[in-house]
């Protein structure tokens, strides 16, 4: 059960039918249950619904042991809920002093068929609207580009990419009036849209820069048009990043008769991205002081701000602030919070690695986990698997 000392982050995954969404989440969860991970990790990843966890792990084991790809799901939306729970603190006192105990990650899958075809009736249309509405609380959206479809269109990738962006853009426009019944753009909306190449193992010569360049070269105008449509849903489009972050993803290396699940790409970046990228990006946007007050307040509104301050305290290895953080109204207005947030989002490079080493030595598992997340993002960029926007 989620407690008051549990933070929550949501990530929405969009991709056409067959783009690998079910395989991705199965690989993400299944790998976390491997003995090696359980032994070495500072945290446990727990499926909040036992039956869901069993299905995902069965999918993973089917790939690992029987070279069997999970059955596709059609016209179904799924929300997978996981708890990232820290392993034991060295003492009860130490556990009480840390800013939070666990992180709840909700992974939303959007039915791929709704990308490519219309709905069959009023009921399904309403379900499509409700499903999209349920995704609006996510901080991060991951938009999948199918590596197999790129390979099928080698040399003419624009045919696939233009269709991909166009279908999604038109799908959004078809439900816009119901998402915005009074025509007023939303304040709460996924503001970070990462373009991710799924099945990246099929294109081993493509690094994240080549992927970015391919998308922009072949379908830059279509990406711009999608960005324009998304801007129509949200207030203050200055605080919206569509196609500025890029990621390579592969659930395993798939060959004719072999599925090598240990050869994953980018799957281990999912949790660090969901947990810490919104903190980094939202604080940067707010501090740029280019946003309308209402939007700036929303990005660091009370509930979200409490999450971010707790994450920042955890990253910096500071103890929980005295008194309930909930009394803080508008975190950006408090000196403590502003300084803490700025210190947290600028912690990088050698200082980040020193903080991680110190936390490990002192058994400060929360700080070690969060600094480890940030290190993994830096490693992903060095490996050219991840490209983060600098804006």
CB–CB of 177/235 below 8 Å? Answer: no
What is the number of domains present in the chain?
1
Highest mean pLDDT among 10-24, 277-291, 314-328: 10-24
DSSP state of 333: G
Q: Give the residue among 26, 11, 12 at the shortest CA–CA distance from 251.
A: 26
- Between 365-382 and 270-287, two packed helices, what is the crossing angle to 10 degrees? 90
346: in domain: no
Is residue 191 pLDDT above 60, yes or no? yes
Q: What is the per-residue pLDDT across 206-253, written as a single tens digit (0 to 9) for each?
A: 999 999 999 999 999 999 999 999 999 998 888 899 999 999 999 999
Q: Among 112-121, 347-356, 374-383, which is the least confidently predicted range?
A: 112-121
What's the pLDDT at 113?
A: 78
Domain harbouring 136, CATH code: 3.40.50.300
Better pLDDT: 282 or 264: 264
For residue 253, is it within any domain?
A: yes
Spell out where the chain has E strands: 6-14, 43-47, 78-86, 102-109, 140-146, 192-198, 241-248, 253-254, 259-260, 386-387
Flag whether 58 is in a domain: yes
Whole-number Å distance between alpha carbons of 19 and 343:
38
Starting at the earlier edge strand, list the strands of the sheet with 78-86.
Answer: 43-47, 78-86, 102-109, 6-14, 140-146, 192-198, 241-248, 386-387
Torsion sign, CA atoms 213, 142, 282, 135: positive
**Is 359 domain-assigned?**
no
Please check the confidence at residue 115 and state whether its pLDDT lies above 90: no
C-alpha to C-alpha distance for 32 and 188, rounded to whole angstroms: 31
Look at residue 377 and tell me if it is in a domain.
no
Instruction: Output the CA–CA distances (angstroms, integers) from residue 27 to 142, 193, 261, in the order listed.
Output: 16, 22, 7
- For position 18, what pLDDT does the model report? 87
Classify residue 20 as left (phi > 0), alpha (psi -120 to 50) or beta: left
Q: How confident is the model at residue 111 (pLDDT cuts 50, 70, 90)?
A: confident
Whether the pLDDT of residue 45 is over 60: the answer is: yes
Is 360 within a domain?
A: no
Confidence of residue 87 (pLDDT cuts 50, 70, 90): confident
Local structure of residue 9 (DSSP, 8 states): E
Q: Which of 45-59, 271-285, 286-300 has the lowest mean pLDDT?
A: 286-300
Instruction: Flag whether pLDDT at 378 surpasses 60.
Output: yes
Does residue 314 register a pLDDT over 90? no
Greater pLDDT, 92 or 132: 132
The CA dihedral of 369, 373, 376, 381, to the nearest 10 degrees, is -160
Residue 91 has pLDDT above 80, yes or no: no
Helix 157-179 and helix 122-135: axis angle, to 10°?
A: 90
| pLDDT confidence bin for 14, thresholds 50/70/90 | very high
> Would 129 be classed as within a structural domain?
yes
Domain with 11, as residue range(s), is 6-287
Is 202 among the domain residues? yes
């Amino acid at each position: 059960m989620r407690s008051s000392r549990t933070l929550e982050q949501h990530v929405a995954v969009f991709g056409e039918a067959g783009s690998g969404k079910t395989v991705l989440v199965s690989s993400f969860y299944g790998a976390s249950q491997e003995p090696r991970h359980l032994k070495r990790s500072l945290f446990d990843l727990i499926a909040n619904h036992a039956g869901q966890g069993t299905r995902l792990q069965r999918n993973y084991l089917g790939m690992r042991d029987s070279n069997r790809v999970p059955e596709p799901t059609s016209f179904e939306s799924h929300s997978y809920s996981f708890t990232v729970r820290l392993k034991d603190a060295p003492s009860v006192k130490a556990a009480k002093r840390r800013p939070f105990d666990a992180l709840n990650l909700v992974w939303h899958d959007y039915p791929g068929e709704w990308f490519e075809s219309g709905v069959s009736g009023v009921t399904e249309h309403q379900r499509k609207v409700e499903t999209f509405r349920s995704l609006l609380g996510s901080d991060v959206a991951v938009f999948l580009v199918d590596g197999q479809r790129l390979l099928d269109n080698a040399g003419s990738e624009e045919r696939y990419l233009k269709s991909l962006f166009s279908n999604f853009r038109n799908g959004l426009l078809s439900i816009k009036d119901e998402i915005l019944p009074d025509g007023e753009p939303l304040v709460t909306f996924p503001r970070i849209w990462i373009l991710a190449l799924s099945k990246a193992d099929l294109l081993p010569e493509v690094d994240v820069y080549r992927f970015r360049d391919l998308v922009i070269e072949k379908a830059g105008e279509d990406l711009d048009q999608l960005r324009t449509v998304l801007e129509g849903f949200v207030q203050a489009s200055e605080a919206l990043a569509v196609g500025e972050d890029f990621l390579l993803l592969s659930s395993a290396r798939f060959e004719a008769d072999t599925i090598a699940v240990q050869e994953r790409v980018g799957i281990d970046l999912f949790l660090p991205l969901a947990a810490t990228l919104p903190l980094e990006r939202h604080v940067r946007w707010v501090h740029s002081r280019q946003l309308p007050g209402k939007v700036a307040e929303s990005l660091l509104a009370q509930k979200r701000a409490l999450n971010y301050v707790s994450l920042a305290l955890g990253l910096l290895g500071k103890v929980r602030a005295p008194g309930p953080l909930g009394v803080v109204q508008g975190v950006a207005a408090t000196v403590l919070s502003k300084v803490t947030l700025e210190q947290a989002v600028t912690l990088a490079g050698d200082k980040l690695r020193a903080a991680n080493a110190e936390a490990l030595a002192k058994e400060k598992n929360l700080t070690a986990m969060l600094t480890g997340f940030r290190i993994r993002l830096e490693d992903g960029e060095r490996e050219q698997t991840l490209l983060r926007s600098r804006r």
